[in-house]
Amino acid sequence: MTCLNKFKKIKDSLPLGVSLLAVSKGHTHESVRNLASYGQLDFGESRLQEALPKKNDLNDLDQLRWHFVGKLQKNKVRGVIKDFDFIHSVDSVSLLERISRISNEENKVPKIFLQIKLREDPSKGGFLKEDLLNSWAKIIALENIDLIGLMTIPPIDLSSKQRKDLFFECKNMVNHLGLKDCSMGMSNDWEEAIECGATWIRLGSLLFGKR
Ligand SMILES: *Cc1c(COP(=O)(O)O)cnc(C)c1O
């Protein structure tokens, strides 16, 4: 199946309230432009250095919305705030404080997902559930951020049942905290994530092919 057919099929299958983020890291600006011509507006990148020239090549498409999904280094915060509308990967209070301060300086209000780590996973960042709850009062007092939800990535070795348990747990936390959005589900598990209440799925290889 061509990428376009795949895109249309996935897009048509999404329940109301589920948005598709096309993760274009490792793919060219032509690929982004191609998908944009079929109506895709939300694109995700995980490295600022890669995203900036790509965004520049797509400057004429001013309706695109850019989502930062990668590990965010402190020294990249200002660049990300200037060039992205959403950040899915905020994994500490200190990082969030820095985002709040710099957003204020830049006169921006980025939409923020806090990344939550619901299972032991040395390869992933994210708030532990307990730390998130303990820091909650501090977090919601911060200005110039629009805290919209939680993002999670399951460890790779889970069974389907274990993954769904994890996704449900993320959804329950979103509800418990009074947030709106749940960014979960990638190329290999997006259907499970939707069953469990994802509002944003993040697809890379399924839409663009292997990197
Ligand atoms: C790369 C990436 C994706 C997309 O992954 P695929 O498996 O290619 O769909 C989604 N989320 C994050 C955070 C990523 O880094």
Tell me which residue of 132, 209, 119, 123 sits closest to 169, measured CA to CA.
119
For residue 41, report the phi and psi dihedrals to the nearest 5 degrees: -115, -25
Residue 47 lies in a domain: yes
Q: What is the dihedral of CA 172, 174, 177, 178, to 10 degrees?
A: -110
Share above pLDDT 70 across residues of the chain, in percent, rounded to a whole number: 99
Nearest CA to ligand 1 atom 13: 69
Residue 81 lies in a domain: yes
How far apart (Å, rounded) are the C-alpha atoms in residues 26 and 155? 22
pLDDT over 70 at 1, yes or no: no
For residue 26, the ligand 1 atom closest to its alpha carbon is 1
Q: Provide the sign of the torsion angle of the four alpha carbons 156, 158, 163, 166, taken in this order.
A: negative
Residue 18 lies in a domain: no
From ligand 1's centre to the CA of 196, what distance in Å? 18
pLDDT digits (tens, 9 = 90+) for 137-172: 999 999 999 999 999 999 999 999 999 999 999 999
Residue 14 lies in a domain: no
List the domain range (segments joined by +) for residue 110.
Answer: 3-9+25-208
Average pLDDT, the chain: 97
Nearest CA to ligand 1 atom 7: 187
pLDDT over 90 at 88, yes or no: yes
187: pLDDT confidence band, cut at 50, 70 and 90? very high
Give the mean model confidence (pLDDT) for residues 106-118.
98
Higher-confidence residue of 4 and 200: namely 200
Residue 20 lies in a domain: no
Nearest CA to ligand 1 atom 6: 204
Query: What's this model's pTM, rounded to 2 decimal places?
Result: 0.97
How far apart (Å, rounded) are the C-alpha atoms in residues 47 and 64? 17
From ligand 1's centre to the CA of 115, what distance in Å? 14
The helix/strand/coil state of 90 is strand
Residue 168 lies in a domain: yes
Counting the structural domains of the chain, the total is 1
Residue 15 lies in a domain: no
Q: Is 3 exposed, middle or buried (0-12, 13-18, 19+ CB in 10 A)?
A: middle
How far apart (Å, rounded) are the C-alpha atoms in residues 88 and 125? 12
Residue 14 DSSP code: P
pLDDT digits (tens, 9 = 90+) for 165-176: 999 999 999 999
List, chain by chain if needed, residues with CB within 6 Å of any ligand 1 atom: 23, 25, 46, 69-70, 186-187, 202-206
